[in-house]
Amino acid sequence: MAGLAGWWWSAPAWLALAFVAQFFRDPPRTPPEGAGKVLSPADGRVVAVEKTRDPFLDREAIKVSVFMNVFNVHSNRSPVDGEVRQVWYHRGSFLNAALDKASLENERNALWLRTREGADVVCVQIAGLIARRILCYVQAGDALLRGERYGFIRFGSRLDVYLPPGARVRVAIGARVRAGESVLAELGA
């Protein structure tokens, strides 16, 4: 009887360990072939597709936002082949990342990527209500390939992708996407 009681007491710890192990998983992904494709930088659900002003490059843009819940893979991948032109880190709040105002008020880290064709794409990691740590493994001057890992956000959060105005969006609000595999948009030739 003492052995059974010991197991029941340890069950919550084993469940917590299983949750953390599944959260930090980082499965391999194979990016689709084809020039000009912009891939999702995160697993999750598309929560915004809108014309807006890119606050980092001060230009008109199309923003596609992906919300990651605590059950999604949180490894972030480059949406395009390109050179990292600049990285910006902003301290901020920790509001629910599903809210629109999280894009401007929450802690965030932005990457400006320039493709070989000269298109500028900005990818922004945004901390959420529970997420307290954004990791970015690249710096200005680094080259990234589509689908290559570049960062990680711990626990539920959001990624915004700012595209040039001529980009053709291929997802709708509510779509489920996978980092490094799902096509968010196509850049003009």
- Looking at 65, 78, 103, 157, which residue is catalytic? 157
The pLDDT assigned to 153 comes to 84
Q: Which CATH architecture has domain 33-186?
A: Distorted Sandwich (2.70)
What does the pLDDT look like over 62-118, one tens digit per residue? 999 999 887 888 889 999 999 999 999 988 777 766 667 777 778 889 999 999 999
Q: Is the pLDDT of residue 21 over 70?
A: no
Which tops the pLDDT comparison, 171 or 10?
171
What does the pLDDT look like over 172-189, one tens digit per residue? 999 999 999 999 999 975
Which tops the pLDDT comparison, 33 or 133?
33
- Over residues 28-32, the mean pLDDT reads 83
Confidence of residue 2 (pLDDT cuts 50, 70, 90): very low
Domain ranges of the chain: 33-186
- Over residues 122-148, the mean pLDDT reads 89
Cβ of 142: how many Cβ atoms within 10 Å?
17
Strand partners, 151: 76, 136
DSSP E strands, 30-167:
37-39, 44-54, 59-68, 75-77, 82-90, 108-114, 120-126, 134-136, 143-144, 149-153, 157-163
**Phi/psi at 19 (5° precision):** -60, -50
pTM for this prediction: 0.85
Catalytic residue check, 93: no
Percent of the chain with pLDDT over 70: 83
The pLDDT assigned to 31 comes to 86
What does the pLDDT look like over 3-13, one tens digit per residue? 555 667 777 76
